């Protein structure tokens, strides 16, 4: 559910250092690394030929990777401009010929795509950004593929009418692209996910999210979305039952509203019903659902406004799984995590929820991370 630019947000010097450590590849000499996975493996989401899961990060299951993205039970990886996928094949989200029901437990190449700049995963669908155009595949029942239909696609199709996109994001049944400083959305609008102020239940093609300019990034949760503007402010829309929009209410919004009290934001993450921001000073804010420890705060009270996460310093990026949060922190970019851990998705060696941030021993040089329902994935330069 979470897309990231990884090391790029932290500045050119860090990118260069990580590239030297990991080797270079992909667009503009992007740093590359190996993919580590942890958690439930019932549908092949760990990518190691399973089916046994694990409670600690293991691998690498794939090397030379520039970026990873986690769907509900499938994973995408960007390798030299092409896409690898593994995990749950049932909704077509792998985008490659596999059995209709048997898990694809090792990475395989998505055919027909080259020169890919970014990949992103929704619940049961996938997105790829190629030279400003967006390609999609997987479940399309609510229009989340943006090709004007509700068909399931087992191979990539081009999203209608989009050009000049610079970033993409996928939620449960909706998708987003940043285009010219604005945001386009398509798919489900049951809870205002399209952000266009309308009352339609879905859109099969992209529509403009209302009133946004200067957007540099967009991320998506289960039924909400967040946009980061170039001035460091954050705007949110969609379902708000747990306070995940951060506007001090639990009112669902069909058009963007500003997240209260945030400035100087450099990175965003969205879990199912929680939201996370990294500030320029290296501190972290979180808001939304707290029942499973996903905010990194004491207690289970939801937060309708951003709250400072204690015990995290020097954060440079953040990612989220369904009910988990992962942060790269410090000059060594160590992986810090908290939240739900019923299947080992935090890589803590056990299966108990962790409400306080703790570092994963030995996992450093983190370029990208994330997860889905009950697994975690990390891309490391080591």
Q: Which two tokens stand for residue 184?
A: 């386009």
Q: 318-376, pLDDT tens digit by residue?
A: 999 999 999 999 999 999 999 999 999 999 998 888 999 999 999 999 999 999 999 99
Using CB atoms within 10 A of its CB, is residue 163 exposed (0-12), middle (13-18) or buried (19+)?
Answer: exposed
The answer on pLDDT for 10 being more than 80 is no
Q: Over the chain, what is the mean pLDDT?
A: 92
Token representation of residue 259: 């997240």
Residue 16: pLDDT over 50: no
SS3 at position 325: strand
Phi-psi region at 30: left, alpha or beta (left = phi > 0; alpha = psi -120 to 50): beta
Residue 43 and residue 51 in contact, taking contact as beta carbons nearer than 8 Å: no
Cα separation, 207 vs 328, whole angstroms: 34
Report residue 27's pLDDT band, with 50, 70 and 90 as the boundaries.
Answer: very low
7 Cα distance to chain centroid? 15
pLDDT band at 29 (very low <50, low <70, confident <90, very high): low
pTM exceeds cut of 0.85: yes
Provide the pLDDT for residue 34: 98
Average pLDDT over residues 307-328: 98
DSSP secondary structure letter of residue 11 = -
The mean per-residue pLDDT over the stretch 194-208 comes to 95
Calculate the alpha carbon distances from 42 to 189, 224, 280, 325, 333 in Å: 31, 27, 39, 22, 30
């Amino acid at each position: 559910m979470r897309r990231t630019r990884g090391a790029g947000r932290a500045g050119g010097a860090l990118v260069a250092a990580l590239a030297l450590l990991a080797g270079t590849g992909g667009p503009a000499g992007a740093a590359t690394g190996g993919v580590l996975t942890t958690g439930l493996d019932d549908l092949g989401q760990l990518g190691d030929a399973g089916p046994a899961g694990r409670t600690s990060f293991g691998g690498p299951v794939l090397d030379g990777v520039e970026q990873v993205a986690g769907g509900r039970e499938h994973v995408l990886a960007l390798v030299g401009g092409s896409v690898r996928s593994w995990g749950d094949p049932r909704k077509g989200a792998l985008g490659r010929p596999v059995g209709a029901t048997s898990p694809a437990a090792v990475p395989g190449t998505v055919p027909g795509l080259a020169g890919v700049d970014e990949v992103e995963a929704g619940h049961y669908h996938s997105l790829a950004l190629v030279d400003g155009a967006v390609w999609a595949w997987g479940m399309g029942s609510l229009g989340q593929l943006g090709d004007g239909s509700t068909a399931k696609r087992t191979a990539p199709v081009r999203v209608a009418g989009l050009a000049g996109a610079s970033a993409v994001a996928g939620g449960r049944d909706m998708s987003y692209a940043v285009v010219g400083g604005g945001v386009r959305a398509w798919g489900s609008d049951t809870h205002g996910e399209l952000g266009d102020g309308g009352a339609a239940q879905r859109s099969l093609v992209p529509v403009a999210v209302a009133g946004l300019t200067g957007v540099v990034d967009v991320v998506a949760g289960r039924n909400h979305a967040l946009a980061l503007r170039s001035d460091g402010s954050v705007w949110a829309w969609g379902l708000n039952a747990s306070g995940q929009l951060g506007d001090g209410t639990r009112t669902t919004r069909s058009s963007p509203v500003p997240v209260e009290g945030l400035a100087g934001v450099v990175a965003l993450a969205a879990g199912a019903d929680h939201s996370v921001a990294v500030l320029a000073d290296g501190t972290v804010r979180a808001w939304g659902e707290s029942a499973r420890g996903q905010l990194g705060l004491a207690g289970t009270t939801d937060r309708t406004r951003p709250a400072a996460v204690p015990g995290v310093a020097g954060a440079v990026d953040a990612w989220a799984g369904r009910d988990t949060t992962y942060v790269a922190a410090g000059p060594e970019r160590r992986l810090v995590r908290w939240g739900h851990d019923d299947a080992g998705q935090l890589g803590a060696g056990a299966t108990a929820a962790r409400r306080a941030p703790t570092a994963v021993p030995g996992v450093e040089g983190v370029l990208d991370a994330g997860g889905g329902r009950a697994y975690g994935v990390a891309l490391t330069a080591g």
